[in-house]
Structure 1
Amino acid sequence: MRPDNLAALRKLLLEETGLFFPPEKDYLLVSQVEKRVRAGAGPDPDEYVRRLRADAEEFQELINLITIPETYFMREFKFLDLAARVLLPEIISRKGRGAVLSAGSATGEEAYSLVMLARHYNLPMNKLDFLGLDINTRSLQRARAGVFGPFSIRHAEEEARAILAGFTTPGNNGEIRVKEEIRDAVRFEHCNLLKGLKGFGPFDLVLLRNTLIYIQPGMRPRVLMNIRDAMSEGGYLILGQVEIPGGTFGIFAQEKLEGLTVYSKRENKE
């Protein structure tokens, strides 16, 4: 692929999604473009890139290849546990019901984990709505299916595994299947967080964990503002541990609960 077309592809991805691919990741972009060309999506890599901006369907196919659905059940368990044990009961007590978003939900393990924990703590499920949003349509299909391999539980702690076992059934070759009542509690939809969350929300709790790290730093405030605009006043935001040091650029208030950093949509921002 010609260097100018590769640069144009990086620019298009950045403008349309916020995804940042430094030069050392050029091999990933080139290999996936070549894969689409072999599949008949273009005569050669350079022409493929030139056509891409005008072809939304093909752009989505490329997005599905280059976004990595890196997640697993009960990830950063103490934050999920805090959300189910402390935040969701407070929201229900204050508002009567709560809307929860897993933003950048990938293949769904995070959203399902929180539903399982809500059930584990006997929360009134008829007062909670769970939604997962992601830019990768293939990941969303896998999330809706609710079937996962051993890799999806690879880092689950002992306590988390015990809870997980109560809401899944074993399948073949180490697979686990999320039980129907858990699957039915979550809706998964396509969304580009950089473009806004119009039609979704307002949310009382948002999990935006290990998603911002893939967004170009200068565009992270835009994503956070889009999230904030889709939240109710007093709503909570939980970031991934690797993202907490970067904060929220003053867009959210910061607080400590049981020693853990969480954020909220309040006037006294950080």
Structure 2
Amino acid sequence: MQLENSHNTDNQQAISSKAFSGFKKLIFESAGITMSDAKKSLVAGRLGKRLRILNLQSYDDYLKYLTVGEGVNNGEFQIFVDSLTTNETYFFREPQHFDFLKQEILKKHKPDQLLRIWSSASSSGEEAYTLAMILADELGIDAKWEILGTDISTEMISSAKQAIYNEHRVRLVPKDARHKYLLKGTGSNKGYVAVVPELKKHVRFEHYNLVDSPLRKEMFDVIFCRNVLIYFSQETKKIVMQRLYKQLKHGSYLMTGHSESLHGMISELRSVKPSVYLKTGNV
């Protein structure tokens, strides 16, 4: 999950300070995301599409629609969240984490034990399927491993389940992995690839809010939580980290984005490399 600059160049009316403040409050309360005033044009660009679709005259009208109008019960609120949390991502992003996974974690893994990895802000699935390719190569396609991908955007979860990507998204996938794990589209599907069913069976996707969804029953050997913490306030970041910490097995690893630091946040998470943390506590 990530907020990217909007490329919408349509002429749009100005978003009022009242509406922008209302949208900021809603996205913080529902997703824990903190937006600065610098995001005002992004919000206008993303939500302007909803105004046109719903035939509303202003952003203030849309805020009212979301909070006291039809949007309260017709699913529009989730569309609002999706509109502000969609992510432009790709396979094998920030490869240093995948190198650490192969060299330090998988080499020590006992093949008779189930390995479980959580891609906790999985967006449209590129990170989760990257992990699946690595585990299939290192442990075997029929070995005991599984990957959970979660995101707050239902639109992204739907896209991840389809597992169809344009060529740009898979540009960093190694040639041998492309050959084994991606099916090349032809005809009307030219320029797209699909993840093979043998890989997809190891990966499942669910809608999940890192801030307040119920804690999961399963425990994980590795949790990836990359490029999402930068959108949280310090207080919310600490809440999310405390929750993820509880989902890690003792001696397991948490990986964050390279620009995200957990310094001083949880003492039982020990930094072993930049943006790689080891759980040393038992709680």
Unmatched 5+ residue regions in structure 2? 1-14
Rounded Cα–Cα distance in structure 2 between residues aligned with 1:28 and 1:17: 17
Alignment of 1:218-257 (within 5 A): 218-243=235-260, 245-247=261-263, 249-256=265-272
2:105 — aligned with what? 87
Within the alignment, does 1:193 sit opposite 2:192 as a pair? no
Is this contact kept in 1: 2:141–2:199, CA < 8 A? no
Could you tell me which residue of structure 1 aligns to residue 89 of structure 2?
71
Q: Which residue of 2 aligns with 1:153?
A: 170
TM-score when scaled to structure 1?
0.85
Q: CA RMSD in A?
A: 2.6
Q: Which has the higher helix share?
A: 1
For 1:107 and 1:179, the matched residues in 2 are separated by 16
1:197/1:227 contact within 8 Å kept: no
Secondary structure of the equivalent of 1:193? coil
The answer on 1:114 being equivalent to 2:128 is no
SS in 2 for 1:222: helix
Residues 192-211 of structure 1: pairs in structure 2 closer than 5 A = 192-211=209-228
The whole-number CA distance in structure 2 between the counterparts of 1:240 and 1:246 is 11
Kindly tell me the number of residue pairs found equivalent between the two proteins.
262
> Quick one: which amino acid aligns to residue 34 of structure 2?
F
Contact 1:221–1:249, Cα closer than 8 Å, also in 2: yes
> Are positions 1:267 and 2:277 aligned together?
no
Q: How far does residue 164 in structure 1 lie from its aligned partner after superposition?
A: 3.3
**5+ residue gaps, structure 1:** none
| Residue identity matched to 1:23 | D
In structure 2, the partner of 1:165 is 179
User: Does structure 1 retain, via aligned residues, the 8 Å contact 2:257–2:275?
Assistant: no
Q: CA deviation at 1:180?
A: 0.9
Aligned position for 2:5: none
AA aligned opposite 2:113: G
Query: Aligned partner of 1:87: which letter?
Result: I
In 1: Cα distance, 2:195 partner to 2:245 partner: 31
Q: How far apart, CA to CA, are the structure 1 residues paired with 2:257 and 2:57?
A: 41
Is the Cα–Cα contact under 8 Å of residues 82 and 155 in structure 2 kept in the other structure? yes
Percent identity over the alignment?
27
CA shift digits 1:72-100 (9 cap, x unpaired)? 1111223113214431453546x822221
- AA aligned to 1:239 is T
Which letter maps to 2:169? Answer: S
The answer to whether the 8 A contact 1:85-1:121 is kept is no
> Which secondary structure does the structure 2 equivalent of 1:236 belong to?
strand
CA distance in 1, matches of 2:282, 2:58: 53
1:234 Cα deviation from its structure 2 partner: 2.4
1:47-62 equivalent positions in 2, closer than 5 A: 47-53=61-67, 55=72, 57-62=75-80
* TM-score, scaled to structure 2: 0.82
1:216 aligns with 2:233: yes
**Could you tell me whether the CA contact under 8 Å between 1:116 and 1:164 is conserved in 2?**
no
What is the distance in 2 between the residues matched to 1:248 and 1:152? 35
Q: Does structure 2 conserve the Cα–Cα contact (< 8 Å) formed by 1:196 and 1:226?
A: no
Is 2:53 aligned against 1:39? Answer: yes
